[in-house]
Amino acid sequence: MTTVLKYFRLWVKLTMNSFLSVLSSRLSAGLFLLGKSLRFIFFGIFLWALFAKVTHIAEYSFLQALFFYLTFNFIDTVTQLFFREVYRFRQLVVSGDFDLVLVKPTNPLFRALAGGADPLDVLMLIPYIGALVYVFLQLKGVTMWGVSSYVLLVTNGLVIATGFHILVLALAIMTTEVDHAIMIYRDLTSMGRVPVDIYQEPLRGIITFVIPIGIMMTFPAKALFGLLTPGMVALAVIVGVGFLVVCLRLWRFALTQYASASS
């Protein structure tokens, strides 16, 4: 309990520093916020324009497609909110400054992963959650089982996202040549902006079970619509937890490969 409290206090401190850093340039923060808002609105307009002409895409109605998109945004933004530090990690490695993290009496993974939340994502979460709740209330035929499994699978999605971020950190240590692994993760997850059912096999299978984007982004909404059996929900959780365990092991291995270059 004391350890949890210690890390919570540390996270609050790092987050306050991050907030001060981001808000030191208000114009820049404002432009980023505007950009993020527009990106969200634009894709919504695109979906709306599409559904003005078609009633269903891959068996999903407009409200369902919107719910998929909003769930994607929620998971993506919560992840970015907590793990923004990952975007700056490679620089720590190539400059050798990661040494300074390693000598501190804290878990280096905690510092590298959650070393400061992004205030802009906190602001963005407000409309996302509002829209998610609004669309949820418009959906018909939702059951308690659907809601419970949705919450469970969103949590599972966040676990998978954590795994992906740990993987990116491990890659940054093991191969300094990759300078945009995190952006590859972003592009991969963007495949979940729409239900993965639209993709052809074998791509659909790969992004569902091999690279579990489908489990992370599509499964929660599918569970809410009653399209997943309890067995599939259980399998999704097993894949999620298993993925995190593998990523943690990879991180531990990566730490042994750290060469403290340029320090």
Partner 1 sequence: MKLAIQIIKNTWEEYMMYRLSFVLWRVRSVMQLVVTYFLWWAIFSQHTELFGYTQSMMLTYILLGAIVRPLVMGTRTQEVGGMINDGSLSNYLIRPMNIFRFFFSRDIGDKTLNILFAVVEIALLLFFLRPPIFLQANGLILFFTAVSLLIGMMIFFYFSLLLSFLGFWSPDVWAPRFLSFVLAEFFTGILFPLDILPAPLFLLSKLLPFSYFIYFPLKVYLGQLQMSSILIGIFVGFLWIGGMKFLASLFWKKGLRVYAAEGR
Say whether residue 221 binds partner 1 (CB under 8 A): no
What are the b/e assignments for 43-55, b being 16+ CB within 10 Å?
A: eeeebeeebeeee
Near partner 1 by CB under 8 A, which window of 24-32, 71-79, 141-149, 157-165?
24-32
> Rounded CA gap, 123 and 32, in Å?
11
Count Cα atoms within 13 angstroms, Cβ side, for 52. 6
What residues pair up with 57 in beta bridges, in sequence order? 60
> Rounded CA gap, 37 and 49, in Å?
18
Candidates 49, 72, 78, 79; CA nearest to 191 is 72
Say whether residue 53 binds partner 1 (CB under 8 A): yes
Say whether residue 210 binds partner 1 (CB under 8 A): no
- Of the residues 62, 72, 82, 199, which one makes contact with partner 1 according to CB under 8 A: 199
Per-position x/- string for 178-197, each x denoting binding to partner 1 as judged by CB under 8 A, each - no binding? xxxx-xx--xx-xx-xx---
Near partner 1 by CB under 8 A, which window of 28-36, 78-86, 108-116, 135-143?
28-36
Question: How deeply is 248 buried, as exposed, middle or buried, from its count of CB atoms within 10 A (0-12, 13-18, 19+)?
Answer: middle
Near partner 1 by CB under 8 A, which window of 37-45, 69-77, 107-115, 130-138?
37-45
Say whether residue 31 binds partner 1 (CB under 8 A): yes
- Of the residues 9, 56, 249, 252, which one makes contact with partner 1 according to CB under 8 A: 56
Closer residue to partner 1, CB minimum distance, 87 or 110: 87
3-state secondary structure of 57: strand
- Of the residues 54, 126, 137, 144, which one makes contact with partner 1 according to CB under 8 A: 54
Residue with structure tokens 């190539």? 94
Say whether residue 20 binds partner 1 (CB under 8 A): no
- Of the residues 16, 20, 58, 122, which one makes contact with partner 1 according to CB under 8 A: 58
- CA angle 186–192–193, rounded 5-degree value: 90
Q: Which two tokens stand for residue 120?
A: 């802009």
Q: Which two tokens stand for residue 111?
A: 């510092």
Number of residues that bind partner 1 (CB under 8 A): 40
Query: Where does this chain bind partner 1 (CB under 8 A)?
Result: 25, 27-29, 31-32, 34-36, 38-39, 42, 45-46, 49-50, 52-54, 56-58, 175, 177-181, 183-184, 187-188, 190-191, 193-194, 198-200, 203
